A and B are shown apart, each in its own frame.
Chain A
């Protein structure tokens, strides 16, 4: 029992210590990333403001993340409805294949997408990153939305229909408001995944780097390392914030429909 506890503590340290080092060095005035720490500074954060290339990368990343999140969530809604509302032959197999990108190595997705795109004679750019990110975000969106849809009592939709609504207005008045927390949660998770994603972006980004790709390129200049630390700090804070908000919405939805089926946190 005691050894299990020790193991858990060490595991958590191993997992989170590097992340805690990030803000530590981000606020450290030395340009060398090493102990002992010198003095407190916000210089590196102000330096971020001057890096116009970085601003372009950030804008790029935001565009890609928003588009991929919206696409993944829309696809996720259709898939989740198909999985929970209907029964058809081969359903399990099809759902399995849709969920496969969850476990598929990203490098394989990235390389194969790159080959296909180049072979078809297109050039890579933001759009190809969007395609790749939609592909890997969709399974996450489906997992969240599936739990939202299956928590929804099908007789609610029947009741609305029975009370005179059309299938379309039933979806708008009953289904959508009740799965909305799930939809918001799926959007936020997909956005976060796309924002952080490196491998696919690195392969498919072409001449417009995303933020993680730009960050990687900055690593070659030791002078810029503290600024990388500052940027990393901001990204960690934003990611955690988004995931917490996503989970908040998912739980609120679960509370409303009276059941809690799954989720990531």
Chain B
């Protein structure tokens, strides 16, 4: 794959899409390209415009200006029932007066197929989502997870170019949700259809997506694959929204062409350009780092990079992991460190003095 993208590589292309609800600016110039076969997520807190954007792609919402293209076709004026997209609704929107099979075959009604072929197609779709033999059940008698599967089958049976999922897992309990996450990824790989998922759950987005667009207040603030998003968030806000991020105050200066950050409690560190998504701040700055980039040093262990003394303030034991909140010398804000628990190694106790190993390369510098 080349790094340069040609316009026809992207299945969906949004260019400067604007939308107002009265005085409220819901979408502020959204531009994004989504590739065919991609699992793409729109992630953000509630009210950030992610659902509005999804409904704009589906054709349920009109937009003020900008361009929405699907497979090279301008979607302006194309209603939802004429678009090559299908939607899985947050409430699933299963038709309660029909059977499961009738629900799944609903969209085939207008297709030029024999009745027998329609039934076969619907049953194949049900089989795909793990509901083989459920066809004759009444739809209103299904459980939440089953409704979710019927909604998926109902959309996938039409073989849309794009499947739009509006918070599809938010109504399920935790265990069911984790199971469905894995199933959805598998399903997406199997059918090869482009999935666009709307979610407010950053963990879900990280687990499922090829790429994630983080939205705040009607704007896409960062659009990257999960690893980049996690390791190199481009603003403090994104860093804070995705996973846990520690922040410490720092002062920055340039010396002999080297970029130096003096971090409170940690000391001096040489920073590369890539670690400064907002540009190198000369002077006051904030430095962010993930809990797993730090390690508590046990007796006899030496730091691979640098080390700093600290005191343990809080211990949260999770079985496989332990979270330590530590305080570096001379710093007010506690810092979270996550440690994998290893058999034969004791969990350290509150109040003990420890040495913490850290690496300058894991820091991200914000203005």
Contact = CB atoms under 8 A, between A and B. Distances in A.
Nearest to A153: B91
Interface residues of B, number: 23
Contact of B89 (A158, A166, A256, A258): A158
A158 B55 CA distance: 11
A163 interface: yes
Contacts, number: 57
Nearest to B83: A162
A144 B86 CA distance: 33
B317 interface: no
Contact of B87 (A153, A159, A165, A174): A159
Interface string B296-319: 000000000000000000000000
A163 B106 contact: yes
A163 B154 contact: yes
Interface stretch (B93-101, B239-247, B343-351): B93-101
B157 to A, nearest CB: 10
A164 interface: yes
Interface in A148-172: 153, 155-156, 158-166
A164 B140 CA distance: 22
A137 to B, nearest CB: 27
Nearest to B166: A155
B107 interface: yes
A256 B94 CA distance: 12
A62 B39 CA distance: 62
A177 B80 CA distance: 22
A177 B96 CA distance: 10
B109 interface: yes
A41 interface: no
A166 B93 contact: no
A162 B80 contact: yes
Given A155-B89, A258-B140, A162 B81 contact: yes
Contact of B93 (A158, A164, A165, A173): A158
Interface string B75-93: 0000111000111011101
Given A258-B96, A258-B140, A165 B81 contact: yes
B95 A156 contact: yes
Nearest to A152: B96
Interface string A95-109: 000000000000000
B96 A257 contact: yes
Contacts of B85: 162
Interface residues of A, number: 19
A162 B58 contact: yes
A170 B79 CA distance: 14
A165 B87 CA distance: 14
A164 B107 contact: yes
A173 B90 CA distance: 21
B110 A162 contact: no
Contacts of A165: 81, 109-110
Contacts of A256: 96-97, 140
A155 B80 contact: no
A175 B35 CA distance: 36
Given A174-B95, A178-B97, A256-B96, A158 B80 contact: yes
B217 to A, nearest CB: 24
B110 A159 contact: no
Contacts of B109: 164-165
A183 B151 CA distance: 28
Contacts of B97: 177-178, 256
B204 to A, nearest CB: 21
B96 A163 contact: no
Contacts of B212: none
A177 to B, nearest CB: 5
A155 B90 contact: yes
Given A256-B140, A258-B140, A162 B95 contact: no
A120 B81 CA distance: 49
Nearest to B97: A177
Contacts of A177: 97
Interface string A170-200: 0001100110000000000000000000000
A160 B96 contact: no
Contacts of B93: 153, 155-156, 158-159
Contacts of A164: 81, 107, 109-110, 158
Nearest to A256: B96
A175 B107 CA distance: 16
Contacts of B96: 178, 256-258
B89 A159 contact: yes
Nearest to B55: A158
B24 to A, nearest CB: 15
Interface centre among B86, B90, B97 (most CB of A within 10 A): B97
Given A159-B87, A256-B97, 15 more contacts: A153-B91, A153-B93, A155-B91, A158-B93, A159-B95, A159-B154, A162-B81, A162-B85, A162-B86, A162-B87, A163-B154, A165-B109, A165-B110, A178-B97, A257-B96
10 contacts: A156-B93, A159-B154, A161-B81, A162-B80, A162-B85, A162-B87, A163-B155, A163-B158, A164-B110, A164-B158
The 5 A-B residue pairs whose C-beta atoms are closest, nearest first, are A163-B107, A159-B93, A155-B93, A155-B89, A177-B97
